[in-house]
Copies of this chain bind each other. A is one copy, B any other.
């Protein structure tokens, strides 16, 4: 059996939901279906979840005129979908009733927000299951509570409780297509609690892991994961297969096809994940698996992200001082700045972290503490750094990849501020000035994806 999750654009309107139904119909092993809330229908459209958040906010601020207006927009969206799918209007009454019940419960502001946010996915699941029945598929809506998704009571940041898995496993025994709303579960006290934003991916992954599905299909609106950001390189290569680790390294530096946390349940149970396109289901998509044959292409993708900052300290004879590195990182931890990397030389150490966490106030505190507590010779801050990750399972055992990568920077006349290779088995990290990012990425892409392998090998032979 397979678990299929459909994202917001896949359930944005009636036409999209018909595509979803066709996909489910096409493969009887698609038994567990997870849906997001209706997303954008066009570029400047508003997602249902954002409307729900606005509604909950104005209601809590007792701006009832505003909240009624927003609720009308929300209900009109659902109504249009239900009408266009020729479904019974009782679904609309059901959605409205759920909202009213939530408003009348004695909930804390955070609990109410979570309950209202979840209406988008919940309604989506009701509509999709009704439509599947309408076209003759034996389908049923199932609430996450009945599916067994029990979570910690952290509104907006729920974590799955391990006791969920034996209950989830029972979904295998149901002989229907089960449509389950994504994004939320239930705490032990019965309260609805949501995952972090985009959490329908998490629900799908949990259900795939819990049912030990043969495949977790994640339907979105792109044909596949691309080897590089398409806004930097035109028509980049599609990735057919990549490993969990590769996906994780790529998503760290800007690849946002799949929710970070969502990989964990699938990774732990080794469930293969397939990223597919609802609008082009015949395209093979991108498989995410635990192992792949890395002989042909040791580099699978190149990711990049800006907004990094580096703090540099130097102190003569630093490396003879036991505990220096730990003390420096301690200051960052005290000030609640999680660092990304901390490369060190003999008498130097850098700490790399995300720029947005480092306010001028924090900067002052951190620099003062470093000067006063660590008695360093110099301390300096470098902002506007970009990080480039060259990712691939074969990197660690392939001679010459570092040479090809660094030559690419050199050919693009880009100075490398930082190289971190060897700490990860599947990636090489480079730090450069943010302004150089496009030419660096283009040069790397050319080297690893456009230059013929044959030519490369011939050149290597001449050189050696």
* Chain A positions near chain B (C-beta within 8 angstroms): 245, 248-249, 252, 260-261, 263-264, 267, 312, 314, 316-317, 319-320, 322-323, 325-326, 329-330, 333, 336, 338-350, 397-400, 402-403, 405-407, 409-411, 413-425, 427-429, 431, 460, 463-464
Q: Which residues of B contact A427 (CB under 8 A)?
A: 345-346
Query: Cα distance A348–B429 when bound, in Å?
Result: 12
A402-B406, A406-B402, A417-B422 given as contacts; is B340 within 8 A of A341 (CB)?
A: no
Q: Which residues of B contact A343 (CB under 8 A)?
A: 341, 343, 420, 422-423
Contact B422 A431 (CB under 8 A): yes
Which of these, B399, B414, B416, B419, contacts A415 with CB under 8 Å?
B399
Closest Cβ–Cβ distance, residue A250 to chain B (whole Å): 10
Q: Nearest residue in B to A432 (C-beta to C-beta)?
A: B422
Copies of the protein in its oligomer: 2
Q: Bound complex: CA of A133 vs CA of B140, how far in Å?
A: 108
Whether A422 contacts B418 in the complex (CB less than 8 A), given A248-B347, A333-B322, A344-B341, comes out as yes
Q: Chain B residue with minimal CB distance to A267? A: B316
Tell me if B323 and A333 are in contact (CB < 8 A): yes
Tell me which of B333, B340, B416 contacts A319 (CB under 8 A). Answer: B340
Q: Are B421 and A418 in contact (CB under 8 A)?
A: yes
- Contact in complex: B317, A339 (CB < 8 Å): no
B414 in contact with A410 (CB, 8 Å): no
User: In angstroms, how far is the closest chain B Cβ from the Cβ of A2?
Assistant: 23
Name 18 interchain pairs, CB-CB below 8 A, sorted by A: A248-B316, A249-B346, A312-B425, A326-B330, A342-B344, A345-B424, A347-B424, A349-B423, A399-B414, A399-B415, A402-B419, A405-B406, A410-B463, A411-B463, A418-B422, A419-B421, A420-B420, A422-B431
Q: Could you say which residues of chain B place their CB within 8 Å of the CB of A319?
A: 252, 338, 340
